[in-house]
Amino acid sequence: MTTTNDMDTDATMSDAKASRFDYGLALATLWKASDGDPIDSVDVAGQGGFLTALGEVAPKERIDAVMSLAGPALPAGLERVMAGSEYLRDCALHRPKRFLSILQRSPETSLDAARDTFLSAMTSATDKSAAMRALRSYKDTAAMAIALADLSYARPVDWVIRQMSDLAEATVSASIDWLLSEAARAGRYLPPSPDQPSLDSGLVVLGMGKLGAGELNFSSDVDLIVYYEPTAPLREGLEPGPFFVRLTRDLVKLMSEITERGYVFRVDLRLRPDPGATQPAISVDAALQYYESLGQNWERAALIKARPIAGDREAGERFLQDVAPFVWRKYMDFNALTDVHAMKRQIHAHKGHDAIAVAGHNVKLGRGGIREIEFFVQTQQLVAGGRNPHLRHRETLVMLDRLTETGWITEAVRDAMADAYRFLRALEHRIQMVRDAQTHDLPSDADDLEAFSRFAGFAAAEALRDELLPRLESVQRHYERLFERSPSLTSDSGSLVFVGDTDDPETLETLGQLGFKRPAEVSATIRAWHYGRFAATRSERARERLTELVPSLLEAFGRVGDADAAFAAFDRFVRALPTGVQVFSLLCSNRHLLGLIAEIAGTAPRLAEILARRPRVLEALLEPDFLSQTIDPALLAEHLARTLAQAESHEDVLDRARIFGHEHMFLIGVQLLTGALPAKEIGKSYADLAETLVDQLHAAVRQEFAHRHGIVPGAESALLAMGKLGGRELTATSDLDMIVLYDGADGTVTSDGEKPLAASTYFLRLSQRIVASLAAPTAEGSLYEVDLRLRPSGNAGPLATSLDGFVRYQRENAWTWEHMALTRARLVSASPRIREAVSRAIRDVLTLKRDRETVRADVATMRQRIRTQKGATDPWDIKAAEGGIIDLEFIAQFLQLAYASDHPDILSPTTETALRAIASKDLLPQDLGDGLVNAAELYQSLVQVSRLALNEPFDPARASPELARLMTRTAGAQDLAEVERRLIEAERMVTRAVSELIG
């Protein structure tokens, strides 16, 4: 804040305020307090200010004794302070010795001394009158010390709001302790620790709002909620409800009753559940039941700042933990955002704060004010704090930093909001210091505004205006970007009206201009939404949100090649939603998603169906920079571990894993769709996600299973990925092929739990639990289909195989096709010991010396069998077509089995990687090796797109323009015809290679 502290300004202030402030009286009072001779009267009007006037009646040493006692803590313009604040002047003149004592010491020293004196006085207080005197004396002393430190700029505003909060907390806490001690002396309360009456009392006192956040202003109410536990230690027969209600009322009297010494803080209890129908103190159980069933979003926002400040603080922390699921939702909650913004609009409408100004402007509730900064922070916390515990913090300035760290806002926005917050809070303090009044309004009268500006440290009202207006405008601008997307029933293209039973001609014309070929069908569909014919649109609120969306929605779909088909897909999405408020609120707050949804609907019908079944996956798109995110296995594992750590039960673990998996699968699909991630990397991304989920669910299942059955001492389980998971070529529709192995247990060993099991039975049932953790449907659906048929002996073999048995089978009994499958084996969950043992065993099997002609004949026989059963003639059936993926994999697997004994480094579970390694060893002609590698890359890219977008084989004749463009872009071709030409050429080349290499 820009200030003016020079003597010329103070002299001007003196002249301007001479009629309002009797300097002679002030000097006489201070003179007496400093042990000088009494001064009967001094006429100082027009004599150049406070210091000049003091010089008229005292020698220099007396001026030093009175006016320079505080050193750097003394405001250079003390006269400005005394003239501008009736409250501080009265405090100084009524108790001048205390005032001079504050000036002599640092603010911290004064506050510590005042606190010690206060706590001693409260301990010795024998009645309420004595307690009330101690409380008010402490408040006056501490408030003066804080105010002088603030006005002199000896301490920053962050320090000021923290000290005011500490002052309020100390008075509330001491009052509670005194009241409990009083009840103990009367025999009504039986304190477990008489010296600490609040300890284990079961009395929860939460500081809310600015007090809870440690951000109290100079003349604020203190917002409290009082709860009690029914097991509080009271005299037998005494009901806790009436006891704590009476104690709460006594607390309000101690703090708020106005006496000859004033009051401490005004206490506001209206943030408790349903304040119009509940007592001032309510039970913890009743509060939790209320929040669970009837809690509102504004109450969630309020509880963000809740903090135990008095009473049984451990019980308070327990309550906050219990209520956390209400405050911090598992899912991003954009319904909360619209609710909180509705509160802000009501403030503007009913309080007259709807325009930015200086004279008469409310710096708290007005446009660009403190409340907008707080709402800006809190709503983003409500939206994302359930998913990210780092965003759960009470303090506004800390949260601006954290929102920046997590990518929700930029550093520039943080700096602008933080600067405005500090400026406005400091200005708020000065407004309230004038008369210790609970006001946030700047003076409306021009002369009063000029006088206040000088008191606040500005050269004039114009200087205040120059500092204030840019900050208000900056806050309003950032706030509006977050909240205020005004709904409209018109488009830039024309009218969009969907009421009544008939089509509006202008609306049909507008729809046609937007690109819809069947505008009447679109109009009828939207009217059906408005009539609430589907679950998602039955509530009035959902229809309101959808009405806001319609113009932007139609414009987004109009930009899609087949607008009608894309809109029809979105209609299916709406019809499938069980409820619409959350999703529609999310889209209202994030209009940029509409274009992406339109692209999904027009390009990838299968992805659109997933969106319809699981609309919460939209939240994955709201993470900052989501399109540039890659699947980093280490970060993915850390994120999933943090998510699962918040689970309250094993069932919750499974639900959270499914939410996490569905969101990331959807995210990967959108990255492919938008080109943010190359198609050739998609298989690895899907596989890394699956591996992370498999590994951590494996651990969770082992832990849960051990609760009942213990562990098999010395034994471990491992999950061996096969097929596309093993080869890191997973698609959007792939099953997980796995084998469950265990090691370190023989047939005589049993588990050590409450219900012991033989080792073989133990790992059989554990395998079933592992499969269920991935495949079983829960409230959040299932994750993957799991296929264990590649285990030794297939369906005839046990679900879990011992490592020794697995190795023995592979060496002695496995068919060539099973060794082919083994080339794609990769451990995805195992301890280092068993990982090393399994990897070594697989490598040993794959590098065995084999008769190449025998292997060639076996592979040829297997290929012919598959072609007979599953062969396809359509070149777009890339997996089964002659020369397609199956043939390409057979080539890679045959060559690895045939040559790995001499070239073990050609082994790789990924087909393309194995072919590259084989080609580098001159085991193939260079042109053939390069052709096979290129075919592998082309096949994988096209298959990834078709599996993501469609539920049936790709048909170029029926493909939407968007899907055709995606296929073309993925293949790096000019058009779809070129893609098909290259695909056919690749399949012919692979077929020729099969003939040459395998026969």
Give the amino acid at 281. A
Per-residue confidence band for 501, with pLDDT thresholds at 50, 70 and 90: low
Beta-bridged to residue 260, according to DSSP, are: none
pLDDT of residue 749: 81
> Residues 691, 737: contact at Cβ < 8 Å?
no
H helices of 434-539, in order, are 446-455, 461-482, 505-514, 519-530
Burial 895-928 (b: 16+ CB within 10 A, else e): bbbbbbeebeebbbbbbbbbbbbbbeeebbeeeb
Half-sphere exposure (Cβ direction) of 100: Cα atoms closer than 13 Å = 21
Confidence of residue 487 (pLDDT cuts 50, 70, 90): very low
Amino acid identity at 556:
A
Which of residues 401 and 482 earns the better pLDDT score?
401
CA dist., res. 614 & res. 579, Å (int): 12
* Cα–Cα distance, 968 to 977 (Å, whole number): 9
CB atoms under 10 Å from CB of 105, counted, come to: 17
In contact, 25 and 8? CB cutoff 8 Å: no
* 850: confidence class by pLDDT, cuts 50, 70, 90: very high
- Separation between Cα atoms, residue 254 and residue 178, nearest integer Å: 10
**φ/ψ of residue 308, rounded to 5:** -65, 120
* 572-595 average pLDDT score: 82
Q: Which residues pair with 426 in a beta bridge?
A: none
The residue with greater pLDDT, 484 or 45, is 484
Listed residue (426, 452, 439, 442) closest to 219, CA to CA:
439
What 3-state DSSP class applies to 18? Answer: coil
- In the block, which residue shows the tokens 């070129």? 978
**Cα separation, 679 vs 278, whole angstroms:** 60
Mean pLDDT (whole number) for 859-865: 93
Q: Say how far apart CA 95 and CA 262 lie, in whole Å.
A: 14
Task: Please compute, for residue 438, the number of CA atoms within 13 A of its CA located in the half-sphere on the CB side.
Answer: 9
Each residue's pLDDT tens digit, 316-325: 999 999 999 9
Helices 581-589 and 592-603: crossing angle in degrees, nearest 10, is 110
Q: Strand ranges (DSSP E) for 816-860?
A: 826-829
**CA 289 to each of CA 149, 305, 320, 580, 624: distance values in angstroms, whole numbers, following the listed order:** 45, 20, 14, 25, 35
Question: What is the mean predicted confidence (pLDDT) over 773-786?
Answer: 94
Is the pLDDT at 736 greater than 80, yes or no?
yes
pLDDT digits (tens, 9 = 90+) for 125-170: 999 999 999 999 999 899 988 988 887 777 889 999 999 999 999 9
Closest CA to 788 of 839, 723, 841: 723
The pLDDT of residue 5 = 33
Tokens at 162, concatenated: 């923290």
| 699 token code pair | 């651990």
Q: What is the pTM for the complete model shown?
A: 0.66
Query: Which residues, listed in sequence order, are joined to residue 490 by a DSSP beta bridge?
Result: 495
> Look-up: residue for tokens 């008095």?
310
Helix (H, G, I), strand (E, B) or coil at 113: helix
Handedness of CA 915, 917, 918, 924 (dihedral sign): positive
Which range is most confident: 334-343, 673-682, 886-895, 917-926?
886-895
Residue type at position 204: V
DSSP 702-740: HHHHHHHH---TT-EEEEEEEHHHHTT---TT--EEEEE
Task: Please provide the average confidence, as pLDDT, over all residues in the chain.
Answer: 84
Instruction: Return the percentage of the chain with pLDDT > 90, whole number.
Output: 52
Q: How far apart are CA 592 and CA 999, in angstroms?
A: 55
SS3 317: helix
Residue 295: the pLDDT is: 75
The pLDDT value given to residue 352: 43
Cα 572 from Cα 581, distance rounded (Å): 17
